[in-house]
Amino acid sequence: MGDRVRLAVAGAGAFGREHIRMLAASPDVEIVGIADANRTAAEAAASDFGATEITTDANEMTSRLRPEGLIVATPGPTHVAIAGHALGLGIPVLVEKPVAMTPADATALVEAEGASASFVMPGHVLRFSEPHRRFVEIARSDDIGPILSVTARRHRDDSHAVRYAEDPVVMTMIHDIDLAIWIAGRPVGPTRVAASRRPQGTSRSETLATVQGETGAIWRLATAWVFTTESCPSDRIEVVGERGSVELDVDGRISVFGVNSRTIDVTVDYDAALATEHSHFVDCIRSGKPPTAVTLGEAVAGLSVAGAVLASLEGGGATVVAD
């Protein structure tokens, strides 16, 4: 047990339980505590996955147990306060997306990391999905040439509008914002963002966003929380370059069109991606080095774009310049 990394988890809801379930199966990790404002949820997770320490106060748990790392999977508005407290104690944190709810809150998290001897790792799990990594490698290669555009769709059933208080932009579209940053880099220069939503005023809707910097790729992103069953169109992302294109359909296929056209069968395994994310976090804790697969700076850049999408929606679709 002594060589296992001692981790605590804040949050025992849907996302928190997934983290706890995968951590419990890892030979490299000991779960030393679980915190959730809903004590029943914390008790259920502890019973199901073998943790012994539970509490309703994440900061109290972190101060008392002093884990080697903390995973923050609580509701989004609490992320910065819980992660900031851990950073103040020198404890590394893996923070579920979104790392913060607004760019201003994200700046506070950046400042907390800067004042700490430790680090923040954003929980952007698709960075650790092998099919997504393979897709990004092709998108960045000479196969399709310099990137012109990134087009993505990510649709979910309408229960999301009931289960989550957060906007679809920060719950769902944020994944594709991060993928676009990963694939094409951050937008260059002042970034113009225009968005629309139908019907307006409800999360049970479709949101469309266009993102364009002075140079670099144009992004076209869509997400809808309107499907009345869990049978939704598969997530899909396409990158067009000057010499061809590549598309990932998470149902199991990468399609490349151009000089080296081909189809690659893939399997998107979210458990494997989460396990790889945890392994990277553990490796960073052991080495004392910040994460390289995804950085807090990239997460903040994504939140800036997400904030501009929300501002455009509030402005009736007016073009907004991201900070």
- 258-280: per-residue pLDDT in tens? 989 999 999 999 999 999 999 99
**In this predicted structure, what is the pLDDT of residue 1?**
47
Give me 5's structure tokens: 């990394």
CA distance 312 to 321: 9
Distance from the first to the final alpha carbon of the chain: 46
Does the pLDDT of residue 199 top 90, yes or no? yes
CA distance 125 to 231: 22
Amino acid occupying residue 310? L
**In this predicted structure, what is the pLDDT of residue 69?**
99
| Interval 286-306 mean pLDDT | 93
**Hey, what domains does the chain have and what are their CATH numbers?**
5-123 (3.40.50.720), 127-269+304-322 (3.30.360.10)
Does the pLDDT of residue 121 top 80, yes or no? yes
Reported pTM: 0.93
Give me 40's structure tokens: 């029943």
pLDDT digits (tens, 9 = 90+) for 130-149: 999 999 999 999 999 999 99
pLDDT digits (tens, 9 = 90+) for 47-104: 999 888 999 999 999 999 999 999 999 999 999 999 999 999 999 999 999 999 988 8
Does the pLDDT of residue 310 top 90, yes or no? yes
CA distance 64 to 124: 28
Q: Which residues contact 47 (CB under 8 A, 6 or more apart)?
A: none
CA distance 100 to 299: 9
